[in-house]
Amino acid sequence: MKKLIQAFAAVFLTAMALLYFVSYLNSSQGYSGDNTLTVYNWGDYIDPELIEKFEKETGIKVIYQTFDSNEAMMTKIAQGGTTFDVAVPSEYAVSKMKEEGLLVPLDHSKLPNLKYINPRFLNLSFDPENQYSIPYFWGTVGIVYNPDMLGGKKITSWNDLWDKDLRNQILLVDGAREVIGMGLNSLHYSLNDTNKAHLQEAKQKLDALTPNVKAIVGDEIKMLIANEEAAIGVVWSGDAAEMIWENEKLDYVVPKEGSNLWFDNMVIPKTAKNIEGAHKFINFMLDPKNAAQNAEYVGYSTPNEKALEYLPKEIANDERFYPDLDSIDNLEVYENLGKRMLAYYNELFLEFKMHRK
């Protein structure tokens, strides 16, 4: 027991020494307290040149960390212990983080560039009055497809995917809300449906799609579709834009039955140590020129109305990714379904994946 205690003490002292060294190193380089900012974002979701620009303009050193899911991000913030000054959760995650007290209210007086956000994207159900979140990017879930590989056939509907001629031609993103949502939408049910009979009906219909599904994949879907390994993919609009950039034969459509309208948002987590710097960063990203540069680099749609003036016309005028806003009234934002119902969605999705084997 004595040796165990000694070993534990040695590990503890080593850890403390390492923390002191990192703190000393940061301080010696001028990176401490109010002049560092830790940003927690999705991978490759900001133009690195903008981080450099922000650092030069403000003298604040940015520490950029990434996550690969809203759930992983929320868990890390809830656990505490790691300082995150700005994070970029999706809309349903904002709602959940509010409920769990994981967010700091925003001071709009420190965000003068908020005036450039299109009012259509403000005061939404997941955060009325934008007390805790500011839109970063927005988009849709839809279908990217290669007409040449389909003999010139056009896709306009979710139900088109059940065509028997599409055997082994479809790639799906590995997301429960997206795939179960596709099944619900194909039956004209809401993406946020909690009726278990409707959900079972959607699951059964998805099972019938199995012969047409080549694989359920992650980020590699972009490469596979662009390289014509499959003719059709169910994807997020920004990924579709990137694929079309790589392969101009591709097209993208939001199915006529409806789909998901999603938002990723800038927030200040409860772990923040530099709240003043966090407001400066958010306001910097809301500058129209910066927002345009970021949208062009990332490929997703900016909610910044003024930024559209600085984007190349072929991007700003592409109605697949910047549709007339009156035409998106049949799209739905994901709601926070609660732990039990979300677990049920995940269970159905897992059953669907197992059914394919």
pLDDT along the chain (357 residues), means of 10: 46 45 38 78 96 98 94 93 95 94 98 97 94 97 97 96 97 94 97 97 97 94 97 95 95 95 96 97 98 95 97 94 83 90 95 84
For residue 357, the model assigns a pLDDT of: 62
Amino acid residing at 108: H
For residue 20, the model assigns a pLDDT of: 42
266 Cβ partners below 8 Å, 6+ apart?
A: 86, 87, 88, 133, 134, 135, 136, 281, 282, 285
Amino acid residing at 298: V
Query: Is 35 among the domain residues?
Result: yes
The verdict on 195 and 312 lying in the same domain is no
The verdict on 62 and 152 lying in the same domain is no
Under 8 Å between Cβ of 192 and 125: no
What is the rounded CA–CA span in Å between residue 220 and residue 233?
11
Query: Is 1 among the domain residues?
Result: no
The verdict on 110 and 43 lying in the same domain is yes
The verdict on 268 and 253 lying in the same domain is no
Query: Is 124 among the domain residues?
Result: yes
Under 8 Å between Cβ of 144 and 232: yes
The phi, psi pair for 174, rounded to 5°, reads -85, 70
What is the rounded CA–CA span in Å between residue 60 and residue 177?
38
For residue 16, the model assigns a pLDDT of: 44
Query: Is 186 among the domain residues?
Result: yes
Amino acid residing at 265: N
The phi, psi pair for 157, rounded to 5°, reads -140, 150
The verdict on 208 and 348 lying in the same domain is yes
What is the rounded CA–CA span in Å between residue 161 and residue 155?
8
Query: Which residues, listed in sequence order, are joined to residue 64 by a DSSP beta bridge?
Result: 39
**Nearest residue to 331 via CA among 121, 70, 123:** 121
CATH number of the domain to which 74 belongs? 3.40.190.10
Helix (H, G, I), strand (E, B), or coil: what is residue 312? coil
Does 116 count as an annotated binding residue? no
The verdict on 268 and 256 lying in the same domain is no
Element (H, E) at 11: helix 2-28
Query: Is 165 among the domain residues?
Result: yes
The verdict on 269 and 256 lying in the same domain is no
The verdict on 245 and 318 lying in the same domain is no
Query: Is 306 among the domain residues?
Result: yes
The verdict on 314 and 188 lying in the same domain is no
Query: Is 5 among the domain residues?
Result: no
3 Cβ partners below 8 Å, 6+ apart?
A: none
The verdict on 204 and 253 lying in the same domain is yes
Element (H, E) at 285: helix 275-286
What is the rounded CA–CA span in Å between residue 46 and residue 53?
12
What is the rounded CA–CA span in Å between residue 130 and residue 55?
26
100 Cβ partners below 8 Å, 6+ apart?
A: 74, 78
Q: How many domains, in total, are found in the chain? A: 2
The verdict on 57 and 164 lying in the same domain is no
How confident is the model over 307-328, as pLDDT tens digits? 999 999 999 999 999 988 777 8
Q: Alpha helices of 61-101 — where are they, by DSSP H? A: 70-79, 91-99
For residue 71, the model assigns a pLDDT of: 87
For residue 329, the model assigns a pLDDT of: 80
Give 206-211 contacts, CB < 8 A, sequence gap 24+.
206/179, 206/180, 206/182, 206/352, 207/352, 207/355, 208/162, 209/161, 209/162, 209/170, 210/355, 210/356, 211/164, 211/167, 211/168
How confident is the model over 126-168, as pLDDT tens digits? 999 999 999 999 999 999 999 999 999 999 999 999 999 999 9
The verdict on 196 and 344 lying in the same domain is yes
Q: Which domain holds residue 244?
A: 139-260+331-355
Query: Is 126 among the domain residues?
Result: yes
Per-residue b or e along 244-264, where b marks 16 or more CB atoms closer than 10 Å to that residue's CB:
beeeeebebbbbebbbbbbbb
